[in-house]
Structure 1
Amino acid sequence: MKLKLVFIIFITLILSACLYPEERKMENTPTNDEQLEEVQQAVLEYRERHTGLLPIKNSDENTPFYIKYAIDFKTLQDENILGQPPSNSYENGGQYSYVIIDPEDDTEVKVSDVRVNQDLRSINYEINLYRNKAIVPPYGKKINQDYFEINLDKMNIDEPFTVVSPYSNRELEVIIDHEGQPLVDYRPDVYQMLEEEDISQYEGDLRELLVEQHPIVPTYSPPMVLEDGEIQFKEYEKETNE
């Protein structure tokens, strides 16, 4: 009996020793907010050192606005301003790309959900396969002069193209612009926010509401405005997946 009791205690200690480091690891893992703030302070320090310059990767005129100023972590590491990139960053195997919005003024750090970008690339691949045969994009129902639903019948596809919203985790439809570029329709998320915040009038791009309330930016999406209580896609603004 004593031998059995000693064996049980021994096994319990072994298991505890194995679990303890992992528990400690979880306790010491910073939250997303802490990671965001750490990068924010690093960017501001770099800007101060370099008279307004920012630690960003090169981009071109076709890069969508919300991911145009992607943070270059190597630059911050080279100057010993920041150690390793955040654990949730794409550079460190995570799902977020760190970006800067409003670079001229607040230089605020946000993140872009890389999974959305990857899903859109896969959808764009399917669209291009169709275009190789049909030449034109798979235009479906017209939303306005610049945006269309995707005609799944033409593509012989049964299930609609969707991506998971980084805001609500709901499935969001993917639409195309007049060039056939796939974009995310964030209108359901914005409608929900308008209702929750009791907003009946808003001047400007409604995507800014998402940016104000969340650390995540709505990449690859049309600009939206509120007209007579309805969300409408604004005039054409090219967004690319390159």
Structure 2
Amino acid sequence: MKLNRFFLVVGLMVVSSVLSGCLYPQDRLKENQVPYLDQLEAVQSSVDQYREASGGLLPIKDRDMETPIYQKYPIDFNKLSPRYIQEPPGTAFESGGVYLYVLVDVEEDPKVKLIDLRVAEQIRDINIRIDMYKRSNNGYAPIKEVINDQAFKLDWEKLGYESEPFAESPISGKNLPFVLNSEGQAQLDYSIDLYDFLQEHEHNYKPGDDIRDIIVEHSVFVPAFSLAYTVDENNEPVFLNKE
């Protein structure tokens, strides 16, 4: 239910962005889809200034404690603008962009990262189809294959798709598939990106560890809308089974 509420908010945000996008020329719209590092740095600086001036408080919106960790701390630009930053960056959804600016590591060293709302919109559309299917099939989702207790492959034909849908990874640009979680919600499968990051970066992960933070450490994006992953005996990413 918490995830459904998040996607409802995301849906409203995306609609708002689309409507406001009608007011922008095409070159401005293209600019709002590119995560410029200088914009990230400007937001990071404003967050640091706000934190120092407020005695350690963070400029974030309130979210339920059960909100998934990478979506849990969205930046509230109303608390930053105009004192610490003139206005939200063009890539932020508040300015007609496609990214949600969030904070990670809020207890120790808050860092600004991004969520691609286009992925959120794709997942929302898939979840609508899943819910419609479940209502017509005694509450059962169209599962094609069980991966483990936490992850399942979907039967896309039963959901009305002619072929399996994919999302372009905001991290690598590669096509990523979707899976179903144990709560009946679609999630993005980051296995491809995680495999690449495990090969490219030194790490000390062992089986049982959640390895998603390797993306957070080496990317401007967070692996939002994802299940937990760990490594197997071959140091390859697999879905983490909860005990």
Normalised-by-shorter TM-score class: 0.7 to 0.9
Residue of structure 2 equivalent to 1:232: 238
Superposition deviation, residue 154 in structure 1: 3.2
- Tell me how far apart the structure 2 counterparts of residues 100 and 156 of structure 1 sit (CA, whole Å): 37
C-alpha spacing 1:49/1:182, structure 2 compared with 1 (3 Å): same
Superposition deviation, residue 55 in structure 1: 0.6
Could you list the per-position Cα deviations for residues 130-154 of structure 1 after superposition, in whole angstroms to 9, with x for gaps in the alignment?
1110121122211101210002243
Decide which of 144, 151, 159 is 1:147's aligned counterpart. 151
- Tell me how far apart the structure 1 counterparts of residues 238 and 120 of structure 2 sit (CA, whole Å): 23
Residue of structure 2 equivalent to 1:221: 226
Q: Is the 8 A contact 1:222 1:236 kept in 2?
A: no
- Tell me how far apart the structure 2 counterparts of residues 107 and 154 of structure 1 sit (CA, whole Å): 43
Residue of structure 1 equivalent to 2:168: 164
Decide which of 96, 100, 105 is 1:102's aligned counterpart. 105
Superposition deviation, residue 172 in structure 1: 0.8
- Tell me how far apart the structure 2 counterparts of residues 156 and 86 of structure 1 sit (CA, whole Å): 38
Q: Does the residue aligned with 2:44 lie in a helix, a strand or coil?
A: helix
After superposing the two structures, state which structure 1 stretch, 202-211 or 44-53, moved more: 202-211
Residue of structure 2 equivalent to 1:90: 93
Aligned length: 208
Decide which of 192, 198, 211 is 1:206's aligned counterpart. 211
Superposition deviation, residue 98 in structure 1: 0.5
The letter of the residue matching 1:118 is E
Residue of structure 2 equivalent to 1:42: 46
- Tell me how far apart the structure 1 counterparts of residues 129 and 160 of structure 2 sit (CA, whole Å): 11
- Tell me how far apart the structure 1 counterparts of residues 117 and 158 of structure 2 sit (CA, whole Å): 29
The letter of the residue matching 1:161 is P
After superposing the two structures, state which structure 1 stretch, 165-174 or 155-164, moved more: 155-164
Aligned sequence identity (%): 36
Residue of structure 1 equivalent to 2:125: 122
- Tell me how far apart the structure 2 counterparts of residues 232 and 166 of structure 1 sit (CA, whole Å): 20
Structure of higher CA gyration radius: 1
Q: Is the 8 A contact 2:191 2:237 kept in 1?
A: yes
Unaligned stretches of 5+ in structure 1? Answer: 1-22, 24-29, 238-242
- Tell me how far apart the structure 1 counterparts of residues 105 and 202 of structure 2 sit (CA, whole Å): 26
Q: Is the 8 A contact 1:123 1:161 kept in 2?
A: no
Q: Does the residue aligned with 1:77 lie in a helix, a strand or coil?
A: coil
So what's the TM-score if we normalise by structure 1? 0.80
- Tell me how far apart the structure 1 counterparts of residues 170 and 193 of structure 2 sit (CA, whole Å): 10
Q: Which runs of 4+ in 1 moved over 6 A?
A: none
Could you list the per-position Cα deviations for residues 82-136 of structure 1 after superposition, in whole angstroms to 9, with x for gaps in the alignment?
1110011111011111100010111111111111111111111111111110121
- Alignment root-mean-square deviation, CA: 2.2
The letter of the residue matching 1:91 is E
For 1:166-185, list aligned pairs within 5 A. Answer: 166-185=170-189
So what's the TM-score if we normalise by structure 2? 0.79
Superposition deviation, residue 76 in structure 1: 0.9
Unaligned stretches of 5+ in structure 2? Answer: 1-26, 28-33
Superposition deviation, residue 234 in structure 1: 1.2
Decide which of 41, 62, 69 is 2:66's aligned counterpart. 62
The letter of the residue matching 2:238 is Q
